[in-house]
Amino acid sequence: MPSDKLLQIGNGYISKNDKADSALVCFSIVANRYSDNMDRHDKEMAMNGYLGRWYVYFFKFFNYEKSFESLLRAKHIAEDINSGLAHIDLNFGCMFQTLAEQCKDKPLKEKALDYYKKAFNESLKENDYNSLNMAFSNIVFLSFDLNKLHTIRNILKHYTEKEQSGNDFIRSYNINMYKGLDCLNSKKYEEALNIFEQQEQTTRHTAEYMRYIYIAQINIARTLAAMDKYEQAVSKLKEAGDIAFKYDMKDAILDIYNLQAQYYLKCGNTKLSDICRNKYYQLKDTLLNYNQVAKVSQMQFLDQINEMDKRMAEIMQKHKQEELLTRIGFIVTTIIMILAIMLYLKNKNLKRSNEHLYNNTLESLQREERERSMRIRYEQRLKEKEENRTKEETEERPRYRTSGLSEEDKEILLNKIINIMQTSEEIYSPDFKADRLVELVGSNNRYVSQVINEKLNCNFTTLLGEYRVKEICKRMNKVDEYGNLTINAIASSVGFRSHSGFFSMFKKVTGLSPAQYQKLARENYHKK
């Protein structure tokens, strides 16, 4: 099937929520047809295939690593054919803006703004009016968010002076949005409110224009909040939320939850504020995988290395006679390659080490389970023997060395202690104390403390922490049962109150951080 036909089918699938996988198949077929000896038209088709893959991975599957990779491939093709860079830089800006809003990262917002400005300038050159409008709209929004609206007046001038065809509504909408945000920034609230309400009223209520209505409603809510009219702001946010939910605009839903939490709090309704805040974090956890964000950064680094290699090659070609620059270029390239190799080896060794620690912990848990069964049988025999023993009266002697406990008594008490730690659910209660352990084993504080110190070489707190960590490991290994819980939730469920205490104890017992262990447990589960 021709590439243009496949792209058309893929674009049709995108609009259907349950057909994202089918769209990805169509786009992937077109993208994978790319080769260096293609003609310009076919390369452009392959570039659009990669752009389609980016859209599906980013907006449908939230796989930021794959989406970034697809966008990079599209960029390299665009540079080869010298076309389409405006649209690609616009997508880069969209990606970094989304990550910035989810991570609350200002430098990422600055990076997104730079990409939008590049897209704006490239759109002017290419007469790409669609990208021009989208770039300008995002420049206005981010500049307002970063309190830099006054710095884009020159961009506004170029935008208003550029003649466009067939985009009168969007052009007018964007200019009015700038004016409204400028009024809001200058505390001319009534004037800003009038502009945004007029935008809402004059925008057509069709699927194509629903995001524009949503943006106008959000700006109205922000203006009302600036005027301390928080109840009206919340009401307007509900209207915007109806649109966001109806058209599955997850980025918009995230923004609405965040604003609702703030405005409900201002209204004094802490209960609804907490509900919205919890929904915000739940959706944020769904949209954002921090490991993927880290991989995006690594891919950026590798792309920067490739770009640097390209620039160094150009410098060496132009200045062959300049030996000093040639040597500098060689040294810089060598250092970067060494650093890249070191980073790769370090990550590889770290992964191997973590897997080794995880397997050791897993084997330890399995071995302990076998020993537990043996200990239960041994305890039964000891209990029978203890019942037949003649009870002897002994005076309580000084601690440990002069204790009235015989070695056999210590073994019996040790077995009882370990049995409680292995079988009792009470140890996972935050209120479980040494006194309760003493009560459960039917002894006294002195003997229990003595046996723990002499036989296990630790104190009660350490012993309790170790068994709680082991239970956490068991639960993390049961991905199908506990995979939907956060690490802190699992830690709290076994009795840990302090995050720092839990983290240090987990690291001490397993040699891994909780996040590293959970990641390996999930990988091991999926291998099965």
pLDDT in tens, 297-342: 545 544 654 565 466 556 656 766 777 787 888 888 888 888 888 8
Average pLDDT over residues 194-215: 90
pLDDT digits (tens, 9 = 90+) for 124-178: 988 888 889 999 999 999 999 899 999 999 999 999 888 776 668 888 999 999 9
Average pLDDT over residues 187-215: 91
Average pLDDT over residues 196-201: 92
* Region of poorest pLDDT, from 117-121, 213-217, 380-384, 453-457: 380-384
pLDDT at 470 over 80: yes
For residue 89, name the pLDDT band (cuts at 50, 70, 90).
Answer: very high
Among 364, 387, 413, the domain-final residue is 364
Q: How many Cα atoms sit within 13 Å of 95 on the Cβ side?
A: 29
- The predicted pLDDT at position 110 comes to 94
Among 364, 395, 424, the domain-final residue is 364
Does residue 145 lie in a domain region?
Answer: no
Average pLDDT over residues 256-272: 91
Does residue 448 lie in a domain region?
Answer: no
Does residue 522 lie in a domain region?
Answer: yes
- The predicted pLDDT at position 397 comes to 39
Q: Between 292 and 111, where is the model more confident? A: 111
Does residue 47 lie in a domain region?
Answer: no
pLDDT digits (tens, 9 = 90+) for 31-63: 999 988 999 999 999 999 999 999 988 888 878
186/230 Cα distance (integer angstroms):
20
Total residue count of the chain as it appears in this document:
528
- The predicted pLDDT at position 351 comes to 76
Rounded to a whole number of angstroms, the distance between the first and last alpha carbons of the chain is 38
400/133 Cα distance (integer angstroms):
81
Among 364, 389, 414, the domain-final residue is 364
- The predicted pLDDT at position 42 comes to 94
State the DSSP string of 213-266: HHHHHHHHHHHHHHTT-HHHHHHHHHHHHHHHHHTT-HHHHHHHHHHHHHHHHH
- Assign residue 499 the CATH number of its domain: 1.10.10
Q: How many Cα atoms sit within 13 Å of 71 on the Cβ side?
A: 27
410/414 Cα distance (integer angstroms):
6
pLDDT digits (tens, 9 = 90+) for 413-427: 998 898 898 888 999
How high does pLDDT run on average in the chain? 84
Q: Residue 495 belongs to what domain range?
A: 469-528
For residue 390, name the pLDDT band (cuts at 50, 70, 90).
Answer: very low
Does residue 338 lie in a domain region?
Answer: yes
Does residue 384 lie in a domain region?
Answer: no
Question: Is 521 within 8 Å of 477 (Cβ atoms)?
Answer: yes
Question: Is 130 within 8 Å of 162 (Cβ atoms)?
Answer: no
Does residue 343 lie in a domain region?
Answer: yes
275/255 Cα distance (integer angstroms):
14
Question: Is 332 within 8 Å of 357 (Cβ atoms)?
Answer: no
State the DSSP string of 153-182: HHHHHHHHHS--SS-HHHHHHHHHHHHHHH
- The predicted pLDDT at position 58 comes to 86
- Percent of the chain scoring above 70 in pLDDT: 85
Domain count for the chain, please give it. 2
Does residue 218 lie in a domain region?
Answer: no
pLDDT at 105 over 90: no
